[in-house]
Amino acid sequence: MSDKGYAHPEVLVSTDWVAEHLNDDSVRLVESNEDVLLYSTGHVPNAVNIDWQQDLNDAVRRDYLSEAQFAELCAKNGISNDTTVVFYGDKHNWWATYAMWVFKLFGHEDCRIMDGGRAKWSAEGREMTKDVPSFARVEYTPNARADYKIRAFRDQVLDHVKAGQPLVDVRSPQEFSGELLHMPGSPQEGALRGGHIKGAANVPWSRAANEDSTFKSADDLRAIYEGEKGLKPSDSVVAYCRIGERSSHTWFVLNYLLGYPSVRNYDGSWTEWGNLVGVPIENPSAA
């Protein structure tokens, strides 16, 4: 990787690095996409597919899989506790960072992102395959889920608001203003109220990515989050979107690329906050 001034450059690997480690038993490539059918059209050789809906979320409760379920997910994909897991996917690695965030909830040590994701790998004309790999089952010992380290819950967010601490709303400007309840072009559903959490700053998540889906340099990122919005590394920051997936991208940027030590992802996000009774909302479009 070229030096872009990141606080933790080791969490990003290049497409060249991945190409050199396609058959490395200590490395497991994981593709995770918004489009759950995309993997079947072709993927990086030896990459396994982790479906954000089916694999990472509980089937009944609005929550993530349990420690036992996470251990099973890893074991059947040949991922042991000391495996280097490299995530990549579509949409500027949006869902790859979401999958990584869930792995970090369970304390998996060595998680990385392939900078540029599917888009860069494909643009470089690298090999894609429809073959689904199979790996020998391994043992995985799960850690307790670290819900209060990198994850924020509604009561914590309410305390955060009352304390005047910074929040980053990573949704589109139309969602932030209350004009839309969902991403542009998507069905407008999921919340009874539009707008944003009181005091939140709006930085759409994709601003952190270049056109080729690689991450912007640390200087460019600081110009956005610090120069435009006034964030500081010493801040305790909560990021949110609609269901916590886009904000995982911003969590990754602030935590690993800029080195902010206290960043939490509020996965309840607007589908929860926009339906809560009595919480502070700002809605410029209703004015």
Q: Per residue in 89-147, pLDDT tens?
A: 999 999 999 999 999 999 999 999 999 999 999 999 999 999 999 999 999 998 999 88
Residue 190 confidence (pLDDT): 74
**Percentage of the chain modeled with pLDDT above 90:** 88
Query: Residue written as tokens 């690993």?
Result: 256
Q: Is the pLDDT of residue 182 over 90?
A: no
Closest CA to 202 of 248, 161, 233, 171: 171
Among residues 149, 165, 152, which one has the least CA distance to residue 241? 152
Is the pLDDT at 200 greater than 80, yes or no? Answer: yes
- Interval 14-36 mean pLDDT: 97
CB atoms < 10 A from the CB of 103, how many? 22
Q: Which of 50, 200, 241, 257 is catalytic?
A: 241
Q: What is the mean pLDDT of the chain?
A: 95
* CATH superfamily placement of domain 154-286: Rhodanese-like domain (3.40.250.10)
Q: Where in the chain is the domain with CATH 3.40.250.10?
A: 9-123, 154-286
The least confident of 3-17, 86-100, 241-255, 272-286 is 272-286
> Pairing between strand 167-169 and 27-31?
unpaired
pLDDT at 2 over 90: no
pLDDT mean over 169-186: 90
Strands (E), 72-198: 84-88, 111-114, 167-169, 196-197
pLDDT of amino acid 198: 97
pLDDT of 29 > 90? The answer is yes
In this prediction, residue 148 carries a pLDDT of 85
Has 241 been annotated as catalytic? Answer: yes
Look at residue 199 and tell me whether its pLDDT is greater than 90: yes
- The architecture (CATH level 2) of 9-123 comes to 3-Layer(aba) Sandwich (3.40)
For the chain, report the end-to-end CA distance as a whole number of angstroms: 48
Taking the mean position of all CA atoms in its chain, how far away is CA 71? 20
* Residue 75 pLDDT exceeds 60: yes
Residue of higher predicted confidence among 282 and 185: 282
Specify the pTM. 0.96
Residue type, 121: W
Predicted pLDDT at 287: 62
Q: Given pLDDT bands bounded at 50, 70 and 90, which one contains residue 184?
A: confident
Q: What is the mean pLDDT of residues 194-221?
A: 98
How confident is residue 187, by pLDDT bands cut at 50, 70 and 90? confident
pLDDT at 1 over 80: no
Q: Give the residue-averaged pLDDT of 203-227.
A: 98
- Written in H, E and C, the secondary structure of 119-156 is HHHHHCCCCCECCCCCCCCCCCCCCCCCCCCCECCHHH
